[in-house]
Structure 1
Amino acid sequence: QQHQHQHQHDSSAEPISGNEITQKKRQKVDEDCMITSRLQRGLLLQIIDYLHTEELLRLPITCRFFHRLVSSDDVWSPRVNVLFTDKKHVFRKGDTLKEVLMNATVDGKREYITEHELTRGHWEMTYKASMGSEFSSLEPFFHRKPPRRRRFLRSGRIQSLTPSLEPFGVNNWQWILRDGDPEMKNYFQDEFDIAPRRDPKGTLVLYWGQMAFPPLAVKRLSNWGWILESTAVIFCSFPLEEFVKMVVAGEPSAQRIGNIFPAVRSRNTSE
């Protein structure tokens, strides 16, 4: 009889609603957050350092405590320092370190170069070994000497920073950064002899008067450095020696260029 009474009591109990379940879960999360919040801030930051960035970005939805914590620059400062350590060209924009990190990460995947980025510094360059012995004999980089350095001026001209190493009068050359417009012309040519070119967006074309050199494709490496590469030559926005090390180490983003850059292969296999 007692068992029957207990059974009747259980059957008459009201089922737990979905809202109650959600409330209990939130209560449990709040309790966990209260326990975590009692940890020393320095210890908590060390623990958070073990989280992947994707996990860290999901942390604020758990409770207000973590929302405030993850908004702090203290959380993002170590990640910014680690990420930017070996990066060559960093896009720094944002009111917080979190925004700076997110914006820079997205920008680091950009494959096209801006005119400002092209003209703000110098480029180390070398002709490829595949150009033949005539060029190889003139190329300092092939003889373990510092490579030639050039600048792309905002005026559309090219300046040599190592004139004694230049076999050509590059200061008379011009450059145009293509924007994908098939009707874009070489405005340095004679007015009555302007021919349109069809080059992919972001292609850099060098001219000597009316003669166009092989187009330079713009490529981005994992260190966020820039490479300008044609069938004849390669320009590097950071030291060429560092690029060689990336190729030799098998770094994927450098390999896609290094595999068709015989200068790197011939320079290292002979050492």
Structure 2
Amino acid sequence: MDEGLALAMETMGKERERKRKKIREEGGLPLCQDPLDLLGRDLMLRVLNNLDARSVVRCLVVSRSWNRVASSDLLWTSKCEELWHGKAHLPRLSLVRGVSKLDAYSLSVMDGKRTRIVKDDLCDHVWDFHFTKVAPEYWRNLDPCWKGNGPPMHRYFHQDGSQTADPGDKVWGGHECCYSIVTSMIGGGKIREHYVRINRWLPLAVSRKQDWSWEMSNNFYCYSSVPDAYKEGGTGPLFLVM
């Protein structure tokens, strides 16, 4: 909390105490007043800005006047920046023009918890590809990650269902490649099985990291989404995926 805010709150605190003392001396009831009325909108915004997002959300239901202040874009812009800091990907649905910063924050949190990958996720990112330690030695010898003699191999997914690699990729070899996303559900809309399959090779289990990046892997190889939070307009689906 900066010195100006601290001084203002201290001054107001002394003024409130003076009024309470006067009322007690006159035999009246202690003064009880809405902090928003006392501090005003601008100062209350500065107070709320020092709270975590969960605490600010609680302020939304105090009253209509509190809701107007606690839902301000001025307040939630900084909350979004804090949430997005260090994330590998920013969800497209939270960066749509016209979406309030409060909604952008909420949508980002919900999308960040999503573990169901969709075609937009695959196609929007570049993917690092490498073999695991149980892969045959022949393939590991072609992998720069194991040999330490170059940048990682990259894979690219396309909306037409195909997959490609960088020119000159020794593992790729120029063969045709297609992918599919398989999801099976059980009662209550819960996911029973979810994986990505490339050609007829082993399925790739899908997982999500804390920085919102994706990983797809099986016993022999692994795909990791390359961070691209700088992309204008974000990445991933435009609508919330459950």
The two structures have a TM-score, normalised by structure 2, of: 0.70
Higher share in helix? 1
Amino acid paired to 2:101: L
Q: Decide which of 32, 37, 46 is 1:34's aligned counterpart.
A: 37
Q: What is the aligned partner in structure 2 of residue 245 from structure 1?
A: none
Q: 1:134 Cα deviation (Å)?
A: 1.7
Q: What is the aligned partner in structure 2 of residue 55 from structure 1?
A: 55
Q: What is the aligned partner in structure 1 of residue 159 from structure 2?
A: 154
* Structure-2 change in CA distance of 1:70 and 1:143 (3 Å): same
Tell me if 1:228 matches 2:216.
Answer: yes
Q: What is the aligned partner in structure 1 of residue 121 from structure 2?
A: 117
- Aligned residues of 2:125 and 2:226 also touching (Cα < 8 A): no
SS of the residue corresponding to residue 219 of structure 1 reads: strand
How many Å separate the matches in 2 of 1:157 and 1:108? 26
SS of the residue corresponding to residue 134 of structure 2 reads: helix
Amino acid paired to 2:201: F
Amino acid paired to 1:118: L
SS of the residue corresponding to residue 151 of structure 1 reads: strand
Q: Decide which of 124, 128, 132 is 1:128's aligned counterpart.
A: 132
How many Å separate the matches in 2 of 1:121 and 1:224? 12
How many Å separate the matches in 2 of 1:236 and 1:205? 15
Q: Decide which of 202, 225, 228 is 1:237's aligned counterpart.
A: 225
* Structure-2 change in CA distance of 1:35 and 1:147 (3 Å): same
Q: Which has the higher contact order (CA 8 A, sep 6+)?
A: 2
- Aligned residues of 2:45 and 2:69 also touching (Cα < 8 A): no
SS of the residue corresponding to residue 130 of structure 2 reads: strand
Tell me if 1:96 matches 2:100.
Answer: yes
* Structure-2 change in CA distance of 1:169 and 1:180 (3 Å): farther
SS of the residue corresponding to residue 183 of structure 2 reads: coil
Higher share in strand? 2
Q: What is the aligned partner in structure 2 of residue 187 from structure 1?
A: none
Residues 256-271 of structure 1 mapped to structure 2, 5 A cutoff: none
The two structures have a TM-score, normalised by structure 1, of: 0.63
- Residue deviations 1:77-99 (CA, integer Å, cap 9, x gap): 11111111222222215621000
How many Å separate the matches in 1 of 2:164 and 2:175? 5
* Structure-2 change in CA distance of 1:44 and 1:155 (3 Å): same
* Structure-2 change in CA distance of 1:168 and 1:238 (3 Å): closer
Identical aligned pairs, as a percentage?
22
- Residue deviations 1:51-76 (CA, integer Å, cap 9, x gap): 12121111133344322211210110
Q: Decide which of 159, 163, 167 is 1:163's aligned counterpart.
A: 167
- Aligned residues of 1:124 and 1:236 also touching (Cα < 8 A): yes
Amino acid paired to 1:203: Y
Q: What is the aligned partner in structure 2 of residue 4 from structure 1?
A: none
Q: Decide which of 219, 244, 265 is 2:207's aligned counterpart.
A: 219
Q: What is the aligned partner in structure 2 of residue 139 from structure 1?
A: 143
SS of the residue corresponding to residue 123 of structure 1 reads: strand
- Aligned residues of 1:148 and 1:166 also touching (Cα < 8 A): no
* Structure-2 change in CA distance of 1:172 and 1:76 (3 Å): same
- Aligned residues of 2:48 and 2:70 also touching (Cα < 8 A): no
What residue ranges of structure 1 are gaps of 5+ in the alignment?
A: 1-23, 182-198, 240-271
Answer with 1 or 2: which has the greater Rg: 1
Question: Pairwise CA RMSD of aligned residues?
Answer: 2.6
What residue ranges of structure 2 are gaps of 5+ in the alignment?
A: 1-28, 186-190, 228-242
- Aligned residues of 1:140 and 1:146 also touching (Cα < 8 A): yes
